[in-house]
Structure 1
Amino acid sequence: MNALELSKLLELSMALSKHVVGQDSAALKQYSKTLIFSLNQCVTADAIAVLSGDKQALTILASNGLSEDAIGRRFLLKQQPRLNAIVAADGIVSFAHDSTHPDPYDGLLLAQENRLPVHACMGFKLMLPNNILVVTFDSLRPESFQSYSDTYLNMLSNIVLYQTQRVQESITFYNQARAHKAIQPPKMEKKHALVGESVSMQTLKAEVELVASSDFNVLIQGDTGTGKELVAKHVHQLSARADKPFVQINCAALPDTIAESELFGHVKGAFTGADKDRLGKFLMADGGTLFLDEVGELSLLLQSKLLRALQSGEVQAVGADEIRVVNVRVVAATNRDLQHEIKQGKFRADLYHRLCVYPLHVPTLTERLDDIPLLVGFFLEQLRTTLNVKQVVMDKLTLTKLLQHDWPGNVRELEHCISRAALKAKHQQWQADIIEIQQIDIPIKSTSEMPASLISGTPRSQHQVSMKSAVEGLQKQLIIDAMEQNQMNWSAAARQLELDRANLVRLAKRLGVDLKKQFG
């Protein structure tokens, strides 16, 4: 190695060692951003990403040079041969520019003019006690990484591994101290992870993590389509009951005639048609979690029977003499305002207080518009598998259109909208390897396209959209001013704005800054 390479490795080690580990659930994500910034100084690439997961699937913790919808994607290793090879190997793994293995980021690099496959790729894994981190480097130029020696890359990966282990140990010690116990809860299945990094979702995740470590009953409240069932599963999987049953029942579909049998079970001959013994949902969930979905739809008669079981922890099957004790944690969900229902005499106040030991509010999609790119990426990765295509992407104008819609049906409406659009796009682009969803595939009207009379009642959405436009407008003007002040020198402008030069170029391109038109 030459002196320049040694200097870069030394700067990498010093930068990572200076990173202050945060004391929250986003600590590893923050470290990943610092890691990417530092690696940018060591390796020239169009995109660098840090992924986290296990030997089944990986998700992106942080990235530079990838489109917004890449972050929400969940990459199954059995479907991603390059990521699978990196996880299976020890040390740096490089792929030839003509490798037949598809790259997980094909069509997702910001540096490309068109939806082109990645030409150069390499990466390495970091084995940690509770998970696996993978660092990937991608470029559109086939020869990008050929100038780096194996010695240099191996030393780089060893430095990153050492510093990452230090950060992971700090995070683990903090979590154990906060929980007042030395054993961490079982690892959550990634398929039930909550997607979103907005302020409201970070608050929800912190609340879920907090209540999951207890045995309190939980009441999840939120509009239809916000993902209350997903939150319930998240609570269960982060709890000490994660390896026990998670049993759910839709209270809205429970007629009074069979409800008692569904909840508490029955014995053979208890009533006409009871030809064998049957366990109720409480007994099926013994030791685990019982999820009562749409609990606000229960009749007053069923509410009284449910209350009795919650108070005593005892259930009696229909037609049985024996009373059985159950150990069940109850998580309930509703889209109704139960306090209003209590005033109307439609819901029992004592049952409400039994269920609402710890309330959780799931935000509407309008309250978390910043999460739409992540959700889009998450759904597109699922659709890639469902539609059996190499890649599904979305153009920027279409994504902007989604950000400007009101989404009365929340995340569920967004998912169905994207699914329909992807199917249409596949039908129209049936010969393409990379399917691109365009505006024509999504027949929704953005807020800006609607008459004022239709959106006057939704000031929150208007404020969010105008705020996003204002921020982008400010960024655009700052770039133009910096370039003008520095005689069109990208490096000088980047120093003035305290940005990496490559990041500044990508940001200008994303914002549509036309310097020729401005200055020439």
Structure 2
Amino acid sequence: MSNQQLRCTIDNMAKPNLEALLSVALDLTTSLGAEDRYRRLLEAVRHVVPCDAACLMRYQDGVLVPLAAHGLAPEALGRTFCTKAHPRLDILCHAEAPVRFAPDTELPDPFDGLLASDATALAHVHACLGCPLRVEGTLIGLLTADARDPRAFEGVDAATLSWLGALAGAAVRTSQLIDALEHSAERLGLVADDLRRAAERERGASLLGTSPAMQRLRDEIALVGPSDLTVLITGETGVGKELVARAVHAASGRRGEPLLHVNCAALPESVAESELFGHVRGAFTGAEQSRPGKLEVADKGTLLLDEIGELPLSIQPKLLRALQEGEVQRVGADRSLRVDVRVVAATNRDIEREVAEGRFRADLFHRLNVYRLAVPPLRERRSDIPLLAGHFCDEARARLGVGPVRLTKAARELLAAGAWPGNVRELENTVFRMVLQASRGVPRGAPVVVKPAHLGVDVAAASEPAAREDDAEKATPAAAAAPLNEQVDAFQRGLIERAVAQHDGNWAAAARSLGMHRSNLHHLAKRLGLR
């Protein structure tokens, strides 16, 4: 259109029409949400086109999804329109300019029966037009208008419709870009939150140990890590399954993307679906805004489903579908999203027994159990205990702000002989507690010497047996000839007897001084023959 033609068009355009188009143009420069932008756009359409119904739709892969509507029944916004099933919409999608359909055309109207004012069918003869919305030659949507009066659109000139279509296309594109930026920012924010929490959990920890069991585990991780297969990590509580998952992620081609963590045991059934798959605004009470789920946020990265055996049965079919199809559907959404996520699952349960007893779906188990990594318990790699204890002593020194930490020989032997039902996590907590006890009264920066008495006995109460401990380290070969577990039992028995005696037979007070729960002290005393 030449400048002269443009000036003539503007001169001939009715003032209300010009003001309506101007309002659409101005909205492009304002900070509006998508819903408000679309609502104001349809208000402008009603000023320019005297219609009974208007609809703004987004186009994607042969399907049109309503974004906003005026004069249509509420259910219209919940539908999708395949262009191949609706000839009028198909014609509009292939058009380069606005199209007015003949009032008596035999082509069915896609909104027949969907008028808000009258849910009955549209009259066979009615006015209908549509504008393809194109940005840089690419179809992004349609704008349609219907009126019961077959002559309603005769006064609307083609140039005005072209302007309206161009501005509407720009408005939709602007909203899409804003939504994409907001979604990206939200995703990055959620990723940052997860990584921050992960850093707090990890605290620089890594897979430590030189035992044959740990070397075999490292070899398995090196094999499966780059493969992108789904991995199921099994092992007792506290063995370090999350560290194994991190090692798998670090060995994969996704190591540059986030590794997100979901603790399935901490997910109430009422929120588990939303946490994993996300939800749209208004999907349920309290859903004030749309939110992506962890599967969507972890796109291109890895998602650790910790304690997968605790996942509610009601959620398992949807997770299975997501793993099989690579698609997730937010709660309340009418369409699915493609995601590219590697899933690593972990559990301390006997998962085969859970399947046999009907508490876990067999099909989901087989989908997760593509490659299994069994993490050995600490009792099967006792040679790693001194190395782990030294690592935790160094961590304790940094976190507690104390001087160099040294374990005495007796303390090392005591730790090496422990049962450790809580595995590495229990060992870590015990070492931290011993270092804290040993640091009491030690000048800042001075060496902290950890002795067996610091396993749970107050330093003041331990001052008397300290000499005995030093003697134990210099024990004669005959005394040392006793099995290590018998020496440990004798040492624990002596500690308990002294603690109970110092508290006049009060076992609760003795348990507190030993840093133990009363029931645990009773069980230990019974095993040692003291009760």
If the length of structure 2 is used for normalisation, what is the TM-score? 0.48
Q: TM-score, normalised by structure 1?
A: 0.49
Task: Return the index of the structure with the highest Cα Rg.
Answer: 2
